[in-house]
């Protein structure tokens, strides 16, 4: 999951990005409305955390332009001003949630999870593949109910493969999905992450297949079922 934070307070933006990265999200940060508007046109995000008091282009203008383009991206507004008029204007322009500064970080994290879950169209909060389960809310993977120890990068990689089971994903697509602006992550590093993840999920009979020149895919669960049926026959 990729989040854009548009916040001109660099200390607050740094704290938010550190917390969300710790939870396994890829986070990009901009400090003015013009940069936010450009980023939203060039990159696909799963959530926008938007401060209203941005320089160059205020948050409401960023939100208005976003909705005029027909982008259904969930938006969580942050503001130091807690007036009813601003709340109404922001919600009428298409914001999905609203938080006034100062706020509790744990509450913001919960709202982020709720918005991403809601935007997913009611998709299940747990992804299952054979004996492995992945809790999207807690971001915990288990095999036969026993937790697997994964790094934040491995957790995000597992979520990508589970949500695209049986579909091919190139190395460059994985770089885009996993990495933030300014991160120098090579395709060789992606290979290392996949190697480590493979070793941790193989006890659940999950296999990440490599197709030379195309990329990777998580072997569909139906293939295991078909193999088991053949063995029984």
Crossing angle between the packed helical segments 59-68 and 33-42, to the nearest 10 degrees: 20
pLDDT, one tens digit per residue, over 28-47 is: 999 999 999 999 998 888 89
pLDDT at site 221: 72
Strand ranges inside the chain, DSSP E:
2-6, 26-30, 47-51, 75-79, 97-100, 126-129, 132-135, 140-143, 146-147, 208-211, 215-218
Q: What percent of the chain lies above the pLDDT cut of 70?
A: 89
Higher-pLDDT residue of 160 and 81 is 160
pLDDT at site 233: 35
Higher-pLDDT residue of 123 and 154 is 154
pLDDT at site 47: 94
Higher-pLDDT residue of 211 and 96 is 96
Cβ of 66: how many Cβ atoms within 10 Å?
A: 22
What letter does residue 122 receive in the DSSP assignment? S
Q: Mean pLDDT throughout 212-219? A: 87
Higher-pLDDT residue of 3 and 222 is 3
Q: Mean pLDDT throughout 183-198? A: 85
Q: Mean pLDDT throughout 124-152? A: 87
Higher-pLDDT residue of 99 and 175 is 99
**Mean pLDDT of the chain, nearest integer:** 85
- The structure's pTM equals 0.66
């Amino acid at each position: 999951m990729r989040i854009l934070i548009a916040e001109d307070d660099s200390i607050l933006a740094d704290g938010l990005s550190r917390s969300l990265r710790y939870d396994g999200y890829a986070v990009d940060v901009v400090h003015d409305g013009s940069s936010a508007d450009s980023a939203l046109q060039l990159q696909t995000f799963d959530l926008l955390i938007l401060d209203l008091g941005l320089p160059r282009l205020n948050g409401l203008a960023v939100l208005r332009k976003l909705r005029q383009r027909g982008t259904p991206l969930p938006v969580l507004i942050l503001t130091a001003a807690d007036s009813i008029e601003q709340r109404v204007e922001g919600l009428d322009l298409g914001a999905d949630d609203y938080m006034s500064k100062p706020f509790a970080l744990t509450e913001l994290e919960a709202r982020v999870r709720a918005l991403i879950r809601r935007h997913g169209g009611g998709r299940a909060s747990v992804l299952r593949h054979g004996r492995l389960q992945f809790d999207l809310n807690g971001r915990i993977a288990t095999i036969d109910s026993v937790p697997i120890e994964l790094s934040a990068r491995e957790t995000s990689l597992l979520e990508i493969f589970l949500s695209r089971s049986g579909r091919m994903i190139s190395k460059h697509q994985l770089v885009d999905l996993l990495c933030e602006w300014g991160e120098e992550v090579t395709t060789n590093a992606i290979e290392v992450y996949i190697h480590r993840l493979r070793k941790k999920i193989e006890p659940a009979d999950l296999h990440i297949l490599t197709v030379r020149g195309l990329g990777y895919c998580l072997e569909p669960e139906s293939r295991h079922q078909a193999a088991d049926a053949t063995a029984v026959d």
